[in-house]
Amino acid sequence: MKAIVKIKNLEKYFGRLHVLKNINLEVDAKEVVCIIGRSGSGKSTLLRCINFLEEPSDGEIEVDGLCIPCSLKGKERRQRVFEIRLSSGMVFQEFNLFPHMTVLENVMEGPLTVKKMDKASAVKIAEMNLERVGMIIKKDEYPNRISGGQKQRVAIARALAMEPKVMLFDEPTSALDPELIGEVLTVMKSLAREGTTMLVVTHEMEFACEVANRVIVIHDGELVEQAAPADLINHPQNVHTQALLERYRAGKSPQVEA
């Protein structure tokens, strides 16, 4: 199957801090890839480089056939970044909903303002995607009247309303209370069954085992291992993967140790 995301020799620095080191990765259409690693390992930065919320320091990003090498500058680069952002929906740890807009208006906003869609069409696509995430019944509510899990489902619907080719999830359950995590993961499992291409930064290993085609491990800015979930969990090859999985099994958060 053709790769829809290609990352070649990606480097990212924040000042002198080397955050991503020679990352090479391809993701096929309809593939679900989960990204795991300790906090501060570069997982979120990797996602943010894919849709240029962070500018890569070096290397090349390609999404849906549109390639942006770091050498590309000026107007052409800005246009390609715009097009890649249209092709890649992003769901953040925090929901980032507009508090003064209803659920429906939040989901309509992208199609209206970015795609210049007429209001009737924007309403139709917003309602369709709210239905997909089980939130159509709350379409006239404001964000302060719904739970955290419901807010995240609205955020997913908002990303889907732009009809992206790839969905990027940056720890989408980390800001939720434990009892609300399941409802968001259920929506993501449904998207996976529909054939949505997804890159997911997560600590939810049960979700990764059930849904992912592949799990990749990032340690200190490097991609140290990648494999099918069962292979990675049962036969980890890298010492950092082994240590990370031990922490998961012990029920500990995989944070950077002091």
pLDDT digits (tens, 9 = 90+) for 142-198: 999 999 999 999 999 999 999 999 999 999 998 888 888 999 999 999 999 999 999
DSSP 82-140: HHHHHHEEEE-SS----TTS-HHHHHHHHHHHTS---HHHHHHHHHHHHHHTT-GGGTT
- Residue that has been written with the tokens 């970015």 in this structure: 114
Total-model pTM: 0.93
Tokens of 228: 């099918």
Residue 103 confidence (pLDDT):
98
Residue 177 confidence (pLDDT):
87
Predicted confidence (pLDDT) at residue 117 exceeds the cutoff of 80: yes
Considering the chain, what is the average pLDDT of its residues?
A: 93
Predicted confidence (pLDDT) at residue 257 exceeds the cutoff of 80: no
Q: In this structure, which long-range contacts are made by residues 69-72, counting pairs with CB atoms below 8 Å and at least 24 apart in sequence?
A: none
Question: Strand 58-63 to strand 66-69: parallel, antiparallel, or no bridges (unpaired)?
Answer: antiparallel
Average pLDDT rounded to a whole number, residues 202-218? 92
